[in-house]
Amino acid sequence: MLWLFAFTLQAASVSLVYAMQHYPSGWGHYDVCKSQIYTEEGLAWDYMACQPEATDMTKYLRVTLDPPNITCGDPPETYCALENPYMCNNECDALTEELAHPPELMFDFEGRNPTTFWQSTSWKKYPKPLQVNITLSWNKTIELTDDIVLTFESGRPEQMVLEKSLDYGRTWTPYQFYATDCLDAFTMEPKTVKDLTQRTLLDIICTEDYSRGYVWKNDKTVRFEIKDRFALFAGPRLHNMASLYGQLDTTKNLRDFFTITDLRVRLLKPATGATMVDENNLSRYFYAISDIKVQGRCKCNLHANSCVFDKGKLGCECEHNTTGPDCSRCKKHYHGRAWSVGSYLPIPKGTANICDNTPFFNKHRSLPVLPVPLLPFPIFSLSFFSTARVCDNAMLRCQNGGTCHHHQRCLCSPGFTGVLCEDLRRCSGSSPPTGSAPVLAAAVVVMFYDYVI
Ligand SMILES: [Ca+2]
């Protein structure tokens, strides 16, 4: 099925939207990539850093379980309550819709009563560990913007690890360890997110906050606290985002910390509710998860303000003459300067760091655009190439009656045959460049005709 979904509606008129922006002090919205402005010489584009709006990322993930046959119901099974081994009315049957508990029920709309949930098989093979990996894959780099929250229908696991991957699942690093006893489970001192400081923010901790057993039945959630970590820089109510953005800009490790392509929940030991496992009632022990929340945004390197989900894949709608799923390279013919990530600074508009085509030879649309390094001999006079500029920039204009075409190159006014009408000399007459340039140009026109935009 074809899906096409835009996270944010592109503004019909960016200039209008820009005119209506009201930036609270110290906060950047970064929801507009460019805006038309009036200058002494007419309309021009003003560029700014931009990013898609944060959204519910669970709509766009693929979930895989390992082992694959760990979901309950095949064959059908009856479960008992953890707190009461004689209360065995939880039935799981994969072939009966009302009794099946497939993985997608971790991501459906919540608010139903009763809740819907995924459930594992029970710990039938005790003492062999009952372990399950739940992998969430986006096939796209995304940036987390809020806490990851898992809601358990069963007791919360006694041991669990949350892991992340930044390379599509090839390598994994832990985000956080969870255990009823951190020393015993992972030989780590128990800590909480409150123990972290700006200096230790990237430390991986083991916490006992989310692993208490069935006695605390109302405590069903397990969190990875993103906002508490943001707050170390931005203040308790995230009122000083300028400080956070400044840090994200200058500290790649920090930015990468909140960036993922995949998440993996490693369930290592189910809730037992007691120190001893009751071997006569192993159907009391299993995992069940009703909901997983992951809020984030596509990583577009501050070069896009929308991200689309098309043919099952997320991709940034790149601006600033960038391209690629993450806008992480310059478009063809726009390698005038090295690609660079946009910057949150200065707040509130940031710096776009657009790709441009400065060193390329742009001329009339009937002639090709030639990358300078491909030219066989230095026959052309240097000025012939070096003055080519993009007009898609507030600082540059098409001079001598030239008009800006597609925000990319200048077209000369009728009667001028010069190749670079932003260069006064080229637009002032009909003489082509000196030397044997015309002959060679004709040859290269054929070779590089495909380069015409
Ligand atoms: Ca659910």
Q: Which domains does the chain have, with CATH numbers?
A: 1-52+300-355 (2.10.25.10), 56-298 (2.60.120.260), 372-451 (no CATH)
Residue with tokens 């592109």: 10
pTM over 0.85? The answer is: no
Go through 240-269 and write b for each residue having 16 or more CB atoms within 10 A of its CB, e for each that does not: bbbbbbbbbbeeeebeebbbbbbbbbbbbb
Gap between the Cα atoms of 450 and 370, Å rounded: 10
| Ligand 1 mean position, distance from CA 87 (Å) | 23
Residues 6 or more apart whose Cβ sits within 8 Å of residue 391:
397, 398, 404, 405, 407, 408, 409, 410, 422
Which segment of 96-105, 148-157, 256-265, 266-275 scores lowest on mean pLDDT?
Answer: 266-275
- Tell me the β-bridge partners of 71: 120
Please report the pLDDT score of residue 283 as a whole number.
Answer: 94
Residues 6 or more apart whose Cβ sits within 8 Å of residue 289:
106, 117, 118, 134, 150, 151, 152, 153, 154
| Ligand 1 mean position, distance from CA 289 (Å) | 8
| Ligand 1 mean position, distance from CA 102 (Å) | 10
Q: How confident is the model at residue 359 (pLDDT cuts 50, 70, 90)?
A: low
| Ligand 1 mean position, distance from CA 145 (Å) | 22
| Ligand 1 mean position, distance from CA 293 (Å) | 11
| Ligand 1 mean position, distance from CA 6 (Å) | 25
What distances in angstroms separate CA 72 from CA 5, 18, 77, one per listed residue? 33, 53, 7
| Ligand 1 mean position, distance from CA 74 (Å) | 20
In 136-295, which ranges are continuous DSSP H helix?
A: 182-186, 226-234, 241-250, 252-257
Q: Which residue has the higher pLDDT, 293 or 335?
A: 293
| Ligand 1 mean position, distance from CA 119 (Å) | 11
Q: How confident is the model at residue 404 (pLDDT cuts 50, 70, 90)?
A: low
| Ligand 1 mean position, distance from CA 388 (Å) | 58
- Report whether pLDDT(244) > 50: yes
| Ligand 1 mean position, distance from CA 211 (Å) | 20
| Ligand 1 mean position, distance from CA 114 (Å) | 9
Q: Which own/partner pairs from 71-78 qualify as long-range (CB within 8 Å, at least 24 positions apart)?
A: 71/101, 71/102, 71/103, 71/118, 71/119, 71/120, 71/121, 72/101, 72/119, 72/120, 72/121, 72/122, 72/286, 73/99, 73/100, 73/101, 73/119, 77/121, 77/122, 77/283, 78/283
| Ligand 1 mean position, distance from CA 109 (Å) | 6
| Ligand 1 mean position, distance from CA 150 (Å) | 11
| Ligand 1 mean position, distance from CA 120 (Å) | 14
| Ligand 1 mean position, distance from CA 101 (Å) | 9
Q: Which residue has the higher pLDDT, 188 or 29?
A: 188
Task: Give the H/E segment covering residue 149.
Answer: strand 148-152
Residues 6 or more apart whose Cβ sits within 8 Å of residue 323:
329, 330, 331, 332
| Ligand 1 mean position, distance from CA 170 (Å) | 29
What distances in angstroms separate CA 142 from CA 313, 387, 429, one per listed residue? 12, 39, 53
Tell me the mean pLDDT in the region 193-214: 91
| Ligand 1 mean position, distance from CA 59 (Å) | 13
| Ligand 1 mean position, distance from CA 106 (Å) | 5
| Ligand 1 mean position, distance from CA 52 (Å) | 27
What single letter denotes the amino acid at residue 299? K
Range of 17-26, 207-216, 271-280, 375-384 with top mean pLDDT: 271-280
**Helices and strands: H and E segment counts in the chain:** 8, 22
Go through 167-190 and write b for each residue having 16 or more CB atoms within 10 A of its CB, e for each that does not: eeeeebeebbbbbbebeebbeeeb
- Report whether pLDDT(373) > 70: no
Gap between the Cα atoms of 273 and 280, Å rounded: 15
| Ligand 1 mean position, distance from CA 54 (Å) | 22
Tell me the mean pLDDT in the region 81-90: 85
| Ligand 1 mean position, distance from CA 104 (Å) | 8
- Tell me the β-bridge partners of 221: 151
What distances in angstroms separate CA 373 from CA 113, 192, 361, 420, one per listed residue? 66, 56, 11, 19
| Ligand 1 mean position, distance from CA 7 (Å) | 23
Structure tokens at 86: 């004689």
- Report whether pLDDT(239) > 60: yes
Q: Which residue has the higher pLDDT, 446 or 293?
A: 293
| Ligand 1 mean position, distance from CA 71 (Å) | 15
Gap between the Cα atoms of 272 and 318, Å rounded: 50
Q: How confident is the model at residue 233 (pLDDT cuts 50, 70, 90)?
A: very high
| Ligand 1 mean position, distance from CA 245 (Å) | 34
Structure tokens at 321: 């003459």
Which segment of 204-213, 232-241, 389-398, 433-442 scores lowest on mean pLDDT?
Answer: 433-442
Whether residue 326 contacts residue 299, with contact meaning beta carbons closer than 8 Å, is answered with yes
What distances in angstroms separate CA 124 from CA 37, 59, 147, 269, one per listed residue? 69, 33, 33, 13
- Report whether pLDDT(369) > 90: no
Q: How confident is the model at residue 218 (pLDDT cuts 50, 70, 90)?
A: low
Gap between the Cα atoms of 255 and 270, Å rounded: 33
What percentage of residues in the chain have a pLDDT greater than 70?
71
